[in-house]
Every structure is written in structure tokens, then in C-alpha cells.
Structure 1
Amino acid sequence: MRLAPLPHEFEQAAPVLRRLSEAGYQAYFVGGAVRDALLHDHIHDVDIATSAYPAEVKALFHRTVDTGIQHGTVTVLTENGQYEVTTFRTESTYQDYRRPDHVTFVRSLREDLQRRDFTVNALAMDHTGQITDLFDGLGDLQRHVLRAVGQPEERFHEDALRMMRAVRFQSQLSFTIDPATETAIAHHHDLLKKIAVERINMEFVKMLAARDRASGLATFIATRLNEACPGLAGTADQLRTMLSDVPMPLTASASVWLRLAAALQLDQAAVGPFMRAWKTTNEERRQVKGLLPTLQKVAAGTADAWDLYNAGPDFLTVLLPVAQQLGIASAPWQARYAALPVHTVGELAVHGGTVMARFPQLQGPHIGAVLQAALRAVVAGRVANTEPALLEYMAELPEIKDGQH
């Protein structure tokens, strides 16, 4: 099979392949970029595999970077972009279910492709668009099936993260998983505990952020991968509540964690420990902890203007997508947020200096308390956001009236 016309991303990188080929080496585009091109999906990083050894690659190109030289990867810099060029290789035994003890550079494309995870990722394409398919990856693409290359048990013992990659691809590509591959995941799900949480986190978030996440999540539960993940042992029933969500992708990782926290019925106190176990960022934890009560109020229809104000821009970018997955119409809530008199304290018509000049008897923390009371009154619509109206309102506050006696 030949892919024609060649997508722009490959045309840009084709001179690298041609240079390697002219020097007598084999060179191919490999991996997810080839798969996505055949599926007419967005093409991400273009990777190149070659029979040339790293030193031979470096001798052919003027500008290179040793990005992973011990594993055979050299980044070639061209006027069109930068491309990772990796030597064909085989891998030894995997003592930790994550990394091979050592790699061996080879000249054989077959030996290189047979170590890859799934058949749809084991396709190679030359600079003319000619596809090399040694494991029926094209057939699996047509059937929308994810099947491990060779024996799935071997692939998962080499790198147990491949089990998470399977359910992630299932969600992203809307594929089914080959029965033998799924059975192997179920049998070996406990191997996932050998993998660094940060690596599991990346695949997990991508799975739950995808439009067809229900399919990947269903397999994640059925194969008991959840039992090997931080804080998810024994949560199959709670996770199943997410299977009926409205299909739509999530663009913010915090939205993924917010939806998960809601499904697990975590309270604010439990969010921090749970997310720390997943090695999430401080910002993600802040967002989820702050937004969880507001999401619960939105779901109940009881969120008020102050809840929306406190959520800030995260209300639109993080919380509302989760609400939409729960089947809650977002337009009315977007309108309510847009209609807030102010969205930040900086928009308030008075500031600390104004208050101090008008009420010189106020000291330290009382100034902040007066401003906070004024802000809440403006957000609630009880006071107009003008300096005269706010100063009149403040004059009646206990902090000021009491100080006048």
C-alpha cells in the first residue's frame, strides 16, 4: 500500500529519509504518526527509524543532538524542523517491567518492529509513502482493533505501561481490544504497580480526556487495572458511574481529576492526599479542591453568584466541561458567569487607598474586611459597582459604624 499524497508533515521530514537512503541505509517513518496519517487524524511528532547506527547518522547531518544516544536516538535539526532518528534495535530482558537491561542495534527492520507494542503502531513508511506492514497492522486499522505484536504477555512483561496504553488508545481511537490482548491485560494487571505513577498518570489522563473514554474506562475496570492504581482499588462501582457521561473530550487535565473526584465522592479533605498519590501538580490540586464544592452545587442547581465568582476563569475552562459530561446544560451557567458585575477584585470601583482616605479610623485587617464585604455585595447585586454607592454602603458596616462611636 502506498499513502498518497504524502501529508505535509512527512513531506517536510522526507529529506532526512532521502539522505539516509542515498547513503545506503534503510530509513522509515514509524509509530503513531504513520497510524494517524492512515486514519486521517491529526499527526503529532514524526519519528524516523533507520538501519544507520548513531555515529553514522551524525556523520550524514551537519546539525544533530544526542537526545538518547544510549538508546540509539539522535535528533536531526533541519530548516523544516527537528526529527528524532532512532537506530533499529532489539531489547534484552526487562528486569523491572519498564526498561530493558540493554539494547542492541541491528540492521533489520523486522527485528525493530517486532518489539513494538501494537500492530497499528508497528507500521513503517518510506519517503515515497510505501507502507511496510509485517504484522497485519493495516488489517487491524481497518477492523479498528488493538492487538499486541506477537505474544501479548511478552509485550506487557517488557513494559507493563503498555496495558494502560491499550485502554488509552481504545478511548482515543474508538477501537476495540483484541480478546487475547485484553485477556493478557486482565491476567497481568498487577504488573502495573511496577510502573512509576507519573507514567501511569499521563496515560490515565489521556484515557479519561478522550471523547470515547467510556470504552477505555470499561476495559480499565473489566481488566482490574484500577486495582493497581493509587486510590482506585475497590472503586469499580464508583468508576462505572462515569460510563454514562455525555461523550465529549476534556482539554484541561484538572477537569479529568475533578470528574474523577466527583465520581469517587471525595470531599475537599480527601482530594489532596488522593491527588498527591497520583503525583499531580500543585495547580491541579488547587483547582480540584477549590472547584469540587461548586460542581456539587451546580449539579444540584444551587450555585450562587459568589460561588461562580470564587471559581474564577476555572469555572468556564475546568468546571463547565465536567458539568456538560454530567448532562448539565452549560449555556445558562455561562450566561450567569458572564453577567457577574465583577470577575476580579481589581474591577471593584474602590480600593484600599480609597477606603483609607474616606475612613481613616480603619486599621489593618479591618480595611480588608470592609473591601471583602463590599465585593460580596457587588457580586450579589446588592450594591452598584460605583464609588459613591460603595462608600455609602461601607459607611453602614459595623467595622466603620462602631469605630465612629
Structure 2
Amino acid sequence: MDRLFIQAKPIIERLKAAGYEAYYVGGAVRDYILKREIDDVDIATSATPLEIKSVFSNTVDVGIEHGTILVIHERRGYEVTTFRAETNYVDYRRPESVTFIRSLKDDLRRRDFTINAIAMDEEGVMIDPFNGREAIKKKCIKTVGSPTERFGEDALRLMRAVRFVSQLGFKLDNRTEEALIQQAPLLQYIAIERIFLEMEKLLKGKHVKRALKIARKAKLNDYWPSIFNQEQTIEQIINMPIEGLDLMELWLLALYLEKAKEPQKQLKKWKMPTKDMKTLLRALTFLNWRKDNNWTNIQLYRAGKEIAVMVEKIVCVLHHEKPQAITVKIYEKFAEFPITERSQLAITGTDVLEWTRKTPGPWISQLFTQLEEEILNKKIPNEREMIRRWVEKWGNPSSDKCSKH
């Protein structure tokens, strides 16, 4: 049994000793069967939230209204959730009410896909009332019960279906795929933030092409806010050797292919984190330059390793070349540079002001820009005394002579 299950075993044992049922459930059980790496373990129990809290002294009410209590055991947190039934879904996304129940089978019945509706006890015995293991064996994604009902309850399951295709390489069973196509319009009722999280997981999957094909067939992309919502963009990506690209590189490729006049607005529509948006916009600037130019030392330095690697991998893909060797070449190039960022310079702005006795101004930025170029081109070494002499030769920064540099 996986070490994470073993670490969580005392929680199940204590719940059972108190007279309650308790099982490992969800994605951890599925991934254990598939021999995939397990990130965390969830536990389902017949105990109510208050009963869970009475068994354990160290708990946090992370989702008590939905039956979830975080149990702290040996400095680790485990989500323990009461068996529950959900009724009267509203807005195609959330249940109007949650009822705590004592039946494991009924708890598993409310889950999305049969591969996720398997429980396991502390000894590794599987409880599989909906034949999830058979679906795993057949590499098939199938809803628990009616796919029309499951997607109608929570339309985000439309995205989860194609996300699992990408992650697992499974196919959709016929009824599930038919319902996916019919109910794609329900995705319009789901918050972009929730769609974005599923999209990121989809793009990280090893079988992203297969997932994008199904999404395009079902026209899920019609309800994505931008970038990947263009059928032409998806078609181009599917026909490119994208297997070596990571998440951010796939976003960059799609952003480039869309050729949007205002790329920042397109990224904002996805409610993407600001840090990621800034990285992509900066990378796009260098990619637009790189498509018509070869790298120079200065441009590589300005881009930085992360951006340079992203850009070069996209250039390879655009030329239908596999980008595996590119990363190594760029890292080797950066290893030859005397400096890879401004903070590595042997002097600071304070030094320059002290040596020149001038008032701070735009000239300092100009001086440092030229200084970086001189060092990168190995015209002067990155040594304090040598740089001081170079600064003195620079002359009077406020003069016309200096502004020409």
C-alpha cells in the first residue's frame, strides 16, 4: 500500500474504533489502482462533522457545512468528509442542500465518474459498487448513472471529463460523450475561475491533443473566454509537435497563434494570475522578435533563461521540429556569460553616484545598459576596479557626449 495511505491509516482506525465506518476515497484510490503518483489522501466516513470533531482533538472546520473537517495527524492535514447526499442542484454548479447520510454506497453514487467512485478500506480491500475498476481496466471515462443528470448537476464536470482524458489518456464511453456534446452550452453558467483551474490541469496532461480534439468536437471551446476558444488555434496546436511543451509554453503558443491585437486583455479574460500574465506577455514580445531574428548575447541576456527557453521551444514547434535539445543549448550559452542578470554586477548605482558625483537621473539606466553590454561582449571584466575606470571614461553623464552612448 502507498505510504500516504499508511500515514493516514490511524485516522481510519480511530474512527472505526469509535464505531463509525471510514474509507479512503476519490482520486487517490483511482491513482493507486493506476499506479500513478498520489498527492494526497481523502477519507469518507459515516461520522457526522461533530462526531469527527469528538474523535480527534486537533481539527479545522475547512468545510463543515458540506461535511468536511480537516484532521491534523502528525503535522499533516487530512480532509475527512461525512457520507452525504446532494439534492436540487442550482445554476448547474452547486447543490441547494447537503444531507449527511450513513451509507457509503449512496455517498459514492453522487460522484461524477465511476473511476472516482471507488472506496478502499485500511487493509486495501476495494468497495466498487459502480464498476470503476472495470472502467479503469478498459481505460474508459463513464459517469455514475445518467451522464445527462451528472453534467446537469454540475456543468464543470464537462471540463473534468476532458481533463481526465488529458491526464489519463482514457476515452469517453459513448453515452458520456453524447451527453458532453449535447450539454456543452451548460458550461456558460460556470465561473471562469473554475474553468481556468480545469483548463490548467488539462494542459498539463500527457494526452492534451486527445483532450483538445474532444473539447473541439463537443464545442466546449465556444464557452472558453479567449485564446483556446478559436477552432483554428486548436486545430493548429493539435497538428504541431507539442509533446515537449509545458503548461506556460502551451499558453504562449496559443497566445501567439491567436495574434490578438491586445493580448493582455485576452489573458485577463481567463482570470489568470498576474504573475503568469506578465511572464507570457514578456515572452510574447521576445517571440515576436525572435521569429525574424537570431539570438544575440544581449537579447538572450535581456530575455533571461526562463523566457529564452520558452521562446526557443515555441520557435521549434512552429517549424514542426521537436524542441528537446534546445533547453540544453540555451543553458550552455548562459553558462558562458560573465553575468546573467544585473544584480550580479560588481557595482551598484550608489557606487556610480559616488564616483561621478552627479545627481540621479535617466542617465544611470543608460550607463548600466551599456555596461552590461560591455561585460557580456567581454570588452571589460566584471571587476569593481575595472568598472570604476570604465565609468570614469564614460565622462559626464549629463552631457550630449554621454547621451550618444
* Secondary structure, aligned partner of 1:67: strand
Matched, 1:28 2:26: no
Matched, 1:143 2:138: yes
- Name the counterpart of 1:153: 148
- Name the counterpart of 1:339: 336
- 1:86-144 Cα offsets, whole Å, 9 max, x none, are 11111111111111001111111121111111110000101111101111110111111
Matched, 1:371 2:368: yes
- Name the counterpart of 1:222: 217
* Secondary structure, aligned partner of 1:48: strand
Shifted more, 227-236 versus 181-190: the winner is 227-236
Distance (whole Å) between structure 1 residues aligned to residue 149 and residue 63 of structure 2:
24
Whether the 8 Å CA contact 1:163–1:185 is kept in 2: the answer is: yes
Distance (whole Å) between structure 2 residues aligned to residue 361 and residue 25 of structure 1:
77
* Secondary structure, aligned partner of 2:225: coil
Distance (whole Å) between structure 2 residues aligned to residue 76 and residue 139 of structure 1:
32
2:74 counterpart letter in structure 1: E
Deviation at 1:43, TM superposition (A): 0.6
Deviation at 1:333, TM superposition (A): 2.3
Whether the 8 Å CA contact 1:34–1:123 is kept in 2: the answer is: yes
Matched, 1:261 2:264: no
2:258 counterpart letter in structure 1: L
Identity %, equivalent residues: 36
- Name the counterpart of 1:85: 80
Distance (whole Å) between structure 2 residues aligned to residue 147 and residue 95 of structure 1:
23
CA RMSD after TM alignment = 2.6
Whether the 8 Å CA contact 1:383–1:390 is kept in 2: the answer is: no
* Secondary structure, aligned partner of 1:101: strand
* Secondary structure, aligned partner of 1:45: coil
Deviation at 1:345, TM superposition (A): 1.3
Whether the 8 Å CA contact 1:211–1:249 is kept in 2: the answer is: no
Give the 3 Å change call, closer, same or farther, for CA 389–86 of structure 1 in structure 2.
closer
Give the 3 Å change call, closer, same or farther, for CA 396–33 of structure 1 in structure 2.
same
Matched, 1:246 2:238: no
Distance (whole Å) between structure 2 residues aligned to residue 54 and residue 373 of structure 1:
65
1:180 counterpart letter in structure 2: R
- Name the counterpart of 2:158: 163
- Name the counterpart of 1:173: 168
Matching of residues 236-385 of structure 1 within 5 Å? 236-243=231-238, 244-248=240-244, 250=246, 253-266=247-260, 270-298=262-290, 302-315=294-307, 318-319=310-311, 322=314, 327-328=322-323, 329-330=325-326, 331-360=328-357, 364-381=361-378, 383-385=380-382
* Secondary structure, aligned partner of 2:80: strand
Shifted more, 94-103 versus 74-83: the winner is 74-83
Shifted more, 17-26 versus 175-184: the winner is 17-26
Whether the 8 Å CA contact 2:309–2:330 is kept in 1: the answer is: no
- 1:170-213 Cα offsets, whole Å, 9 max, x none, are 11111111122122111111211111111111110111122221
Distance (whole Å) between structure 2 residues aligned to residue 321 and residue 125 of structure 1:
43
Shifted more, 75-84 versus 198-207: the winner is 75-84
Q: Please, which runs of 5 or more residues in structure 1 have no aligned partner?
A: 1-5
Whether the 8 Å CA contact 1:30–1:48 is kept in 2: the answer is: yes
* Secondary structure, aligned partner of 1:70: helix
Distance (whole Å) between structure 2 residues aligned to residue 74 and residue 357 of structure 1:
60
- Name the counterpart of 2:393: 395
Whether the 8 Å CA contact 1:54–1:73 is kept in 2: the answer is: yes
- 1:328-380 Cα offsets, whole Å, 9 max, x none, are 34122222233233211122344434433444467622232222222233334
1:241 counterpart letter in structure 2: Q
Aligned residue pairs, count: 395
* Secondary structure, aligned partner of 1:111: helix
Whether the 8 Å CA contact 2:352–2:391 is kept in 1: the answer is: no
* Secondary structure, aligned partner of 1:94: strand
Whether the 8 Å CA contact 1:29–1:125 is kept in 2: the answer is: yes
Give the 3 Å change call, closer, same or farther, for CA 28–391 of structure 1 in structure 2.
same
Report the TM-score, using the length of structure 2 for normalisation. 0.89
- 1:209-249 Cα offsets, whole Å, 9 max, x none, are 22221111111211111100102586111122112323246
Distance (whole Å) between structure 1 residues aligned to residue 64 and residue 191 of structure 2:
23
Distance (whole Å) between structure 2 residues aligned to residue 159 and residue 397 of structure 1:
69
Report the TM-score, using the length of structure 1 for normalisation. 0.89
* Secondary structure, aligned partner of 1:138: helix
Distance (whole Å) between structure 2 residues aligned to residue 38 and residue 254 of structure 1:
30
Distance (whole Å) between structure 1 residues aligned to residue 253 and residue 395 of structure 2:
40
Q: Please, which runs of 5 or more residues in structure 2 have no aligned partner?
A: none
- Name the counterpart of 1:94: 89
Shifted more, 71-80 versus 219-228: the winner is 71-80
Select 1:121's aligned residue among 100, 116, 120: 116
